[in-house]
Every structure is written in structure tokens, then in C-alpha cells.
Amino acid sequence: MLAKEGVEPILDPLGKIAELAAVANAMQEALAARVNALDGLANISEDGTEQVRAVLLLWERALERTERFCADLVRLDYEGRRAALAERQSEALEAVMLAAMRHAGLAEAVQHRVLEGVPYALVEIMGVPE
């Protein structure tokens, strides 16, 4: 059935888990606000039995899902992998810049001066990361 829907493969499973964690957390936070606004956590039905409010159960499920996704990200070393990828991208960018400057005939001293200015240019263009 899903094959007919044109389902695309997930090319970045770690990124997808992080996205799902963010969605689960947003749901948990929205439901937490609803739970906090309740007068009580249960209703008494006509037959005198206590009925737990559905929003409380939904919040509890969202909380558990958020915890599970976050635990998965920690277990899979998501932040470490992202840092390693950023480092590889930085190294690749530096290699490309050096190759382009050599191709342009810039002296080695000038090449290094240009590379030294890259962090300052990034801060100027992108701002200081928080």
C-alpha cells in the first residue's frame, strides 16, 4: 500500500530521529500546558468512578516518546557525529580554498593569511553562535 504512495527512503535517519524528537517534545510541551490548565486530573463519572482526563494520558505518552527519542540520540552519539561531520566539512572547505588559491597563483603566505581570516568573516556574516 505505501509503495503506491511514492514513499521516499530516509537518507538521513539520525536527522529524522532528531526531527521526530523535536516534534514529540513540542507535543509534550503543548499537552503540558493543557494539563497545567486543568482544575483537576480526574473527573468523577455519574456512577461515582474516577476517570483520568485524556489529556493527562496523552501528555504522559508524549513525555515517554520524547524521552525515548532523546535517549536514542544520546545512544547513537548524535552530537558527536554532527561535530565530526562539521569537522570534515571544515577540512574539505579548507582544502578546496587552498586548491583554488594555488590555482589562482597566490603565494603560500597569502593563502595562509586568507585562511586565518575565514573565522572572522564567518562571524561577521553569520553572527556569533550562541
Whether the predicted pLDDT of 27 surpasses 90: yes
pLDDT tens readout for residues 33-82: 988 887 777 777 777 677 677 888 899 999 999 999 999 999 999 999 98
Burial class (CB in 10 A: 0-12, 13-18, 19+), 67: middle
Indicate the domain borders of the chain.
2-76, 80-126
Residues 48/49/55/58 CA torsion (nearest 10 deg):
-170
* Average pLDDT of every residue of the chain: 88
